[in-house]
Amino acid sequence: MPQPRIGVMGGTFDPIHHGHLVAASEVASQFDLDQVLFVPTGRPGFKQDRAVTEAEHRYLMTVIATASNPRFMVSRVDIERPGLTYTIDTLRDLAVALPDADLYFITGADALMQITTWRNVDELWSLARFVGVTRPGHELSLEGLPADRVSMVEVPAMAISSTQIRARAHSGLPVWYLVPDGVVQYIGKHGLYRGISD
């Protein structure tokens, strides 16, 4: 059997939205991926300034959002690892769990441009290829990054953000069609973001 090609989409997913899903679908199509694994973070290292919603809620919203796509799966590796989440740990754990897979780490292009500041950058290149998603018309230069390990893909729903959805939910504005229907209902059922204004 050829090596399975697996996309890895890490994120806080607080909440998951159609931008994430469109990006995963677009990268899966362009790179002929067999599967995309969504990996909700434990405690993200760089978001300690804000109270992130409990991991179990973020995990369940991610499961609900991806349930209808047979190629989308959700991994608990980051939730179950104690401490802050770093991409190097995510990729090391997945490389052990999926030793035959070719991993494609999907991330916002702006985050990807910071990759040289990430932990263990040389090991990162050896564990996965990296796909940066950008807004159409905002092609970023890949200068300084290894051309055989990094690509960019334009995705059309980049304007959606979890920050905007939390703010809308907080203000009682609709979030329908920004997130999957089941996620709208989950947010309402558990009263998420009522107390959060950022």
Lay out the sheet containing 102-108: strands in order across: 72-74, 35-40, 5-11, 102-108, 129-134, 150-154
DSSP code for 116: G
**Closer residue to ligand ATP (CB): 40 or 101:** 40
Distances (CA, A) of 42 to 13, 23, 169: 11, 22, 23
Q: Does 180 contact ligand ATP by CB under 6 A?
A: no
For residue 159, the one-letter residue type is A
Position among 6, 7, 8, 12 found at the interface with ligand ATP (CB under 6 A): 12
Distance of CA 158 to the CA centre of its chain: 13
User: Where does this chain touch ligand ATP (CB under 6 A) — which range of 61-69, 103-111, 119-127, 187-195?
Assistant: 103-111
Q: Does 15 contact ligand ATP by CB under 6 A?
A: no
Q: Does 13 contact ligand ATP by CB under 6 A?
A: yes
Close Cβ partners of 14 (under 8 Å, ≥ 6 residues apart)? 52, 53, 58, 162, 166
Q: In the bound complex, what is the minimum distance in angstroms from residue 69's beta carbon to ligand ATP? A: 16
Q: In the bound complex, what is the minimum distance in angstroms from residue 2's beta carbon to ligand ATP? A: 27
Site for ligand ATP in 159-178 (CB under 6 A): 160-163
Q: Does 111 contact ligand ATP by CB under 6 A?
A: yes
Position among 7, 42, 108, 180 found at the interface with ligand ATP (CB under 6 A): 108
Close Cβ partners of 3 (under 8 Å, ≥ 6 residues apart)? 100, 101, 102
The number of beta carbons lying within 10 Å of the beta carbon of residue 96 is 9
Kindly write out the interface string for residues 117-156 of this chain, putting x where it contacts ligand ATP by CB under 6 A and - elsewhere.
Answer: ----------------x---------------------x-
Backbone angles phi, psi at 100, to 5 degrees: -90, -5
What residues line the site for ligand ATP (CB under 6 A)? 11-14, 19-20, 23, 107-108, 111, 133, 155, 157-158, 160-163
